[in-house]
Structure 1
Amino acid sequence: MSHAQAPARRSPSTLRGASLPSWSPWAIAGGSILLGIGISAAAGLDSKIQWALIAGILYLLATFGFAARVEGGRQAKDRIATSLVWTAFVVAVIPLVSLIWVTVARGVKVLDFYFLTHSMGVVADTEPGGGIYHAILGSIEQVGLATLIGAPIGVLTAIYLVEYGRGKLARAVTFFVDVMTGIPSIVAGLFILSIMLMFDMQPFGFAGSLALAILMMPVVVRSTEEMLKLVPNELREASLALGVPKYRTILKVVLPTCIGGITTGIMLAIARIAGETAPVLLLVFGNPFINANPFEGAQASLPLYIYQQFSNSAGSGAAFDRAWAASLTLIAFVMILNLVARAIARWKAPKTGR
């Protein structure tokens, strides 16, 4: 009878081939940047954009070459695809970071408490001083009224298209929503202006709100429609099986489930209309004094204030600084709206039990 032999030790697997070290992408990127700067300097290229393009091309070629030599062609293709994604990401982020950097650097020159709490009043555009309180007040009122008009109509339209819409009417509504999505802002302003001319009306803030609501509605409809489609049909069917009417199913089950996405879509629509200048220029006309009544008289807004100050600055001077400070304020205004939307979405999100 033979004795049982002890199991032999397994040798380490050799199926995994050679691979580049983890620090290789950074080394290749650094070498590509240095080589790109050297080639650009030797060729007499002064543009930093040309330097970046040369360095990016060298990075992609070097990554593919080293990976193909060490890891093989298949892994090299994977690395080149990953590098293209990262390159596209960097190309998209650089303009955004540059825009924010320039806006902050130039906007902080005159941005202070006085600037935020005073209007232009009797201050000429070429003189220092003045502020944007009247423009902030006008923007809040105009965008707020546009939201009160456009958001409910957009949400209700999306509910109809997803929950009730069938036949020719639903197809017609979908078609016109698609058309309205691509309407230039100046067209919406001209539409409201034609109505004002018919009734011999003077510029006032609410007219701008109507044009902004027209621009806002298709964005709200599309975003809300997509959020409603993400709600599982099983939730609707379970509610209906318990005898709950359809309207209560929508109010108590469907909408609370996707309230976060709906709120985010509304905030995106608000961010889109908050920077519109053309409708406000046509319908609101601007006002250097404080006008808290959007239903009577011309009124200011932040985008219109920026346009007027920059057009009167000739590229420098006090008006130029005020334009950049107002731009920074508008960016902060949109950022605050997004933070509020996230807070509301988290607060109203459906709670899951442990």
Structure 2
Amino acid sequence: MDSNNGKSPRTVTEEIENLTLSPYACKSTATKGRKVYEPPCDIRTEFQRDRDRIIHCNSFRRLKHKTQVFLIPKSDHYRTRLTHTLEVSQIARTIARALRLNEDLTEAIALGHDLGHTPFGHDGERTLDQLVPDHFRHYEQSKRVVEVIEKNGQGLNLTSEVIDGILCHTNATAKTLEGQVVKFSDKIAYINHDIEDAIRGGVLRQEDLPKGPIEVLGKSKSERITTLIKSIIANSTNLIQYDEVTRQAHDELRKFMFDKVYFAPSTNAEKGKACHIVEYLYKYFIGSPEKMPELYVGFAKEYGLERAVCDFISGMTDDFAVDYFKELCIPKSWSY
């Protein structure tokens, strides 16, 4: 610490933030804090600690075996929920750095934004939403993961700003610009990377892409991502936004992907089976809650059985859900 005139590395980082970040950035010293107070770390700022907690938690590791769009693909090159998360983080950090926002806060939100996603992607999410009496949203579940489920029911005790960004990454507007950046980056990532996966999977051809948006954004994945990032950087001050031409091109390309890929028969051929697995497991654990791990049995008593079953199933990887279904439904003497 002598080289820092007796100051801790955290204090030096905080001073650098206060000197160099935009007036619109959320500085580490301005955090609203955690639900349960913790003494500051000598080395890391509060947002750096949140990033590290997310990276080291069980839910983050399980993302590597959760579907992005294509169910259990054979190729190693299709995106998983983990690689999607890393790509969102990279795009978000690029934007945050250019706008002089808090990169550590941005990264923490990006890495945690999909922790509550179900197995089998949005199809698993929709299935749980149809089954549970209340409702199920993956962004609300991501918040629940970091607040309640992780660390054997203790939660990660993250800062208010990170939790807000995680909750608001899909529909709502985050209170910080860093959270808003992640929301934009999530869409940039999944639209353009899903195009690449769809072409690889034979669902799309390059020439199928709509001409108008491609002329504005670019023919290649790299060109499109660069165009979108540049538009945000050029048009954002106290609000994250595109210029109007870029926004319209982005929205048209996104609509094309929903029409031609996300809800296309070729993409959805196996999804009915995946939805059946989620539905079967949900009904099974509703009828036999004692079969769930002890943690979720405790959640059932505290939060209600339906919510606890959603907690358990949404935390499963694709492989775990399939194997559990096989264990319950297929005789062990049969080969499969």
Q: TM-score, normalising length from structure 2?
A: 0.24
Structure 1 or 2: more helix by fraction: 1
Q: TM-score, normalising length from structure 1?
A: 0.23
Greater Cα radius of gyration, structure 1 or 2: 1
